[in-house]
Amino acid sequence: MTYLRFHLIFNLPLLILLAALTGSIPWAKEEAAAFAWVLLAVLIFTTPWDNLAAKWGIWGFPREKYSLRLGYLPVEEYAFFLLQSANVMLAVRALFRFFPDWQIGLETEIGKGTLICLAASVIPWTFVAIQLRWLRRKAGPKVNYAIHLAWFLPVIYFQWIVAPQLFWEHAGLLALVTAGFGVYYTLADLAAVRAGTWFFDEKQITGVKLGGLLPWEEIAFFFLTSLLVAQSYLLLLPGDFR
């Protein structure tokens, strides 16, 4: 299965379905802007992370499975994290359509206390970074992928510092979206690995796998990124739309 075929099977049909579910509802300017800003942030944030992992060889792509490479990644890989993000946000929009009571119109205010908490959080996260470096030296390359996942954790944490009430009020929605897409993309990824669309370096994963093929780190990645995208979209949406 080529990478393009993977998208034709797992990403594009889902995108069309989710877009159709809310197709009758016009996009407000602010709503479209939030959607676009999240996609831009995903592209900027994920591109160096993904390229670095491919450069290190944590994962790779057989040449016959993709069309063109930019940096260390196939163009289809860039399309993947953008399509996944679009699907997550469209799912949030669809859920708000079918469950309008979930829209509570909560505004997010960033006060002095929030800024102090954000600044103070630098200290524990610096400590975490030091501990991860120690773990990397102690355990060797087998924890490379697991440690690489830490890239996403501070962002999720800082978002909760900024808008704890918003995320708490929408905890059910966030859990549903995270679980749904986490499971969906785990199964899709399992099919891709089985078909040889991409692969993982056995020396840079801990060895715990689903079905003997898919590393737990890859599964965690899809749950973390689905949660991060859903939170980001909620955070950027105007109060009337969330």
Q: What does the pLDDT look like over 122-171, one tens digit per residue?
A: 777 677 777 777 877 877 888 888 888 888 988 898 899 889 999 999 99
How many distinct helices (H) and strands (E) make up the chain? 11, 6
What pLDDT, on the 0 to 100 scale, is given for residue 114?
A: 66
Distance CA 223, CA 226 (A): 5
What pLDDT, on the 0 to 100 scale, is given for residue 195?
A: 97
177: its two tokens: 């979206």
Distance CA 68, CA 61 (A): 11
Q: Compute and round to an integer the Cα radius of gyration of the chain.
A: 19
Return the closest-CA partner of residue 7 out of 68, 84, 72, 100: 84
pLDDT tens across 24-40, in order?
Answer: 889 999 999 999 999 99
